Structure 1
Amino acid sequence: MSISRHNTGVSAALGALASQVHPVFMLPPVAASWFGAILVGEFTLLPGILFSATVFFGVYTAHVKDGYVDFYLRGEDDDHPMTRRGCHLCIAGATLGFVLCTVALVGLVDATVLVFTIPGWMLGYFHAPQLDMNPVTTTLGYPLGIALSILGGYYVQTGVLTATPLAFAGVLVFVLAGIKIIDDAKDYDYDRSIDKRTVSVTLGPDAAFRLAYALIGAGLFFVVAGSITGVFPPFAAVAAVPFALVVVLARATPPRHATMMLVRGSYVFLALLVVAVAFRPLSGIPLPDIGVFGPYTYLVTEVLFGTVAAVVLFRAGRDAIRRTVRTIAVVYPVAYVWDWYTLEVGVFEIPLRTGVELIGIPLEEHIFMVVVPAFVLAIHETLGSDERPPSTETETE
């Protein structure tokens, strides 16, 4: 019996086999395994190749199994390039390749590598039709696979795990989980019709989108925090900037387009993290010293953030501006008394200021009590006023 559903012969069979290699979803796990190796510094090729091969075979198994379930069992797809027997043979062959590479790694490193290989294969094989029916497992399957790829890629080189690979793996779990929620949202209507409990179906589209962007935002924050604490190289914080811009732009687009933007943005994000780890730009370079403005330093920072707040508020509209002004007017007296008291009892000092005082506190503190709530309320009003794109698109892949 032929492997290909549409043609016979060797070329048709090879074409059917190649059709299950999906670079968009297969490249990141394989690249993540090498990212784990790069975290080590100097790494050995053989264990890296063997581990990346186990990742490849695991993801290939997942793609074949998922296509088989969607076409032959669920009738979700309109076509599939492989016969039933072809799917079974592919799964068996990929599993055999996975087992051989895993056994080689056990002999080369130790049996602990099974912790990073077997769960990855199981996540792929049982994704459909078991794990993809639950909101937690359908969302975390792919992110956890990426995390295992990073951790395993590091472990096969060193035989140990440290905080750095664990932190990187955790960041990507947050970011990719958010992207997966948005990706699943494009099939909301269909998933709901077959009782497939994705996060969008379980929580509703609006809550799902809020959770997704909260997870992505948390992941980016942890990158910046890791750079500040020294867990990540300093350039890792720079890597978060372009991806954060993509996230802002994607938020205003429908789920399908948002997914495309976020997936591609995550590739850039991962590539820049590789640059941060492999080449460590900015390492050893001191932070810019804004103290060069002398007594005007505090004032300059307030002007900067105040300008941003004004621009964002202007974009949010007149109603947002009125609400912000009213809120600041109510909060200001409380903030004034609090600020005066903390300065009076010596809670903090402000050395880089003009020295000008107004009704008992520095001029800069008066500005601070306007700029900070204005900045916060500007973001709040923007998030509240932006119309989220349609979350229900009857699209299937």
Structure 2
Amino acid sequence: MPRRSGDAQGAQARGAAGVARALAAQVKPTFMLPAVATSVFGALLAPDADPVTAALHAAGVGAALYVAHVVDEYVDTHRRGEEPPTLPRRVLASTAAAGTVLVVAAAAALWVRADPVATASLAALWALAVLHAPVLDRNTVAVTVDYPVGIAAALVGGFAAQTGAVSAAVLAVAAVFAVLLSGEKVAIDRLDAAFDRTVDKRTVPVVVGDRRAAQVAAGVLALSGGLVAGFAAVGVLPRVAAGAAVFPLAAAAVTVVASSRRAVQAAMALTYPFAAALFVVVCTATQCHVAPLVEAVLAGVGDAAVLAGAG
């Protein structure tokens, strides 16, 4: 596709209002909210949580994801010509720089206020953000795991910002989520395979075909369930955590037999109860600061079940 001139590239974003709308469009909740929520997830697993520190890390995560979207827009429109530009080069470049400043500011504040691991997690997220479109999305493995690895980094960093350390249980949960989301990424890429072929994006479905990609997705999802059971068996996670493995195993089963769209819907729907189950298990084991509330809710559910059975 031919590149457009500088004037044509900015035609759709002339004026302050047009620029503002185009930049606001780079705020993509589907990708940003899970990452920010994962940072908060990690913070809530800590025995004590400082809201300011949690907000700093979450803000840094959000800023890094925004940089990723802006850089992706720049590369796809101005360097590769895959899509019509909505913003001029200079606006995208300056916006990415401004987002980087926000990430650096959050990282510096965490260095002073919290722990180097929290700072390192933001540095890792920023590196993934600026490398995704130019480099990582052209490699089959990298384009599959970069976002899941970022989610894992957000969880570890959110916890480390509160505690100054990283527990084995939190690392285990982060690893499980990285594997789980990698399986979901393969499933999602099945939906975009036709377009990805046209822009030379070598995702798993493009490389091995739809049927084998479904098998790969199911295998990786099942692996995440196996990891949960394994971590529970060796004591890294509480034994009861093994029960949570049913969710990714169910997602794997659906992926094998359902259509690509149904498989994605099922996997995403099962992720939420899976995350909730792991949170409850790890939280009660580590006596995180919301553990009394969690235990009260569980006690209430148990009492309700007893009463229902007696009735």
- TM-score normalized with structure 2 length: 0.79
Structure 1 distance, partners of 2:135, 2:15, is: 34
Shift of 1:252: 3.1
* Per-residue CA distance 1:35-63 (angstroms, 9 max, x = gap): 11122132111221111111111111111
Report the secondary structure of 2:73's partner residue: helix
**2:65 counterpart of 1:25:** no
Residue 148 of structure 1 aligns with an amino acid whose one-letter code is A
Distance 1:172 1:157 in 2: 20
The 8 Å contact of residues 19 and 81 in structure 1, kept in 2 or not, is answered as no
Indicate the residue corresponding to 2:171 in structure 1: 166
Which residue of structure 1 aligns with residue 133 of structure 2?
128
1:181 equivalent to 2:186? Answer yes
State how far apart, in whole Å, the 2-side matches of 1:264 and 1:71 are.
33
Q: Contact 2:180–2:248 at 8 Å: present in 1 too?
A: no
For 1:216, the equivalent position in structure 2 comes to 221
**Alignment correspondent of 2:106:** 101
Q: Any conservation in 1 of the 2:221–2:251 contact (CA below 8 Å)?
A: no
Measured against aligned partners, the alpha-carbon deviations of 1:345-367 in whole angstroms (never above 9, x if no partner) come to xxxxxxxxxxxxxxxxxxxxxxx
Deviates more, 1:114-123 or 1:143-152: 114-123
1:139–1:181 Cα contact (<8 Å) kept: yes
Q: Aligned partners of 2:227, 2:107: CA distance in 1, in Å?
A: 32
The 3 A distance-change label for structure 1 pair 159 and 256 is same
- Does structure 2 conserve the Cα–Cα contact (< 8 Å) formed by 1:28 and 1:267? no
Q: Deviation per CA, 1:321-366, whole angstroms, max 9, x where unpaired?
A: xxxxxxxxxxxxxxxxxxxxxxxxxxxxxxxxxxxxxxxxxxxxxx
Q: Which has the larger displacement, 193-202 or 171-180?
A: 193-202
Structure 1 position 205 matched with structure 2 position 210? yes
For structure 2, list consecutive stretches of 5 or more residues without a partner in the other structure.
1-5, 284-290, 300-311
CA–CA distance in structure 2, aligned partners of residues 70 and 192 of structure 1 = 14
Which blocks of at least 5 consecutive residues in structure 1 are unaligned?
284-397
Structure 1 residue 253: deviation in Å? Answer: 3.4
Instruction: Give the aligned partner of residue 82 of structure 2.
Output: 76
Matched length: 284
What letter is aligned with 1:76? E
User: Of 102, 107, 119, which residue of structure 2 is paired with 1:114?
Assistant: 119
How much does 1:244 deviate? 4.1
Q: In the aligned structure 2, how far is the partner of 1:122 from the partner of 1:42?
A: 29
Q: Does 1:266 align with 2:271?
A: yes
Of 63-72 and 254-263, the range deviating more from structure 2:
254-263
Question: Against the structure 1 CA distance between its residues 231 and 107, is the aligned structure 2 distance closer, same or farther, given a 3 Å change threshold?
Answer: same
Q: CA deviation at 1:106?
A: 0.9
- Letter in structure 2 aligned against 1:117: L
Which of the two has higher C-alpha Rg?
A: 1
1:257 Cα deviation after fit:
4.2
Shift in alpha-carbon separation, 1:80–1:159, aligned structure 2, 3 A: same
Taking the aligned partners of 1:179 and 1:189, their CA distance within structure 2 comes to 18
Higher relative contact order (CA 8 A, sep 6+): 2
Q: State how far apart, in whole Å, the 2-side matches of 1:270 and 1:125 are.
A: 28
CA distance in 2 between partners of 1:275 and 1:52 (Å): 21
1:75-117 superposed Cα distances (whole Å, 9 cap, x missing partner): 333x454333321122111111111111111111244433212
Q: In the alignment, residue 26 of structure 2 is paired with which amino acid?
A: Q
Instruction: Determine the C-alpha separation between the residues in 2 that align with 1:234 and 1:148.
Output: 25
> Which structure: greater helix fraction?
2
Q: What is the Cα-based RMSD across aligned positions, in Å? A: 3.0
Q: How does 1:1-397 map to 2 (within 5 A)?
A: 5-6=11-12, 8-77=14-83, 79-227=84-232, 229-233=234-238, 236-242=241-247, 244-276=249-281, 277=283, 278=291, 279=294
Could you tell me which residue of structure 1 aligns to residue 3 of structure 2? none
Secondary structure of 1:197's partner?
A: coil
- Structure 1, 30-39 or 199-208: larger mean CA deviation: 199-208
What is the SS of the residue equivalent to 2:134?
Answer: coil
What SS is found at the alignment partner of 2:132? coil
Aligned mates of 1:154, 1:93 — CA distance in 2: 26
Note closer, same or farther for the CA distance 1:229–1:156 as it changes in structure 2 (3 Å cut). Answer: same
Tell me: CA distance 1:263–1:64, structure 2 relative to 1, closer, same or farther (3 Å).
Answer: farther
The one-letter code matched in structure 2 to 1:93 is A
**How many percent of aligned residue pairs carry the same amino acid?**
35
CA distance in 1, matches of 2:13, 2:214: 43
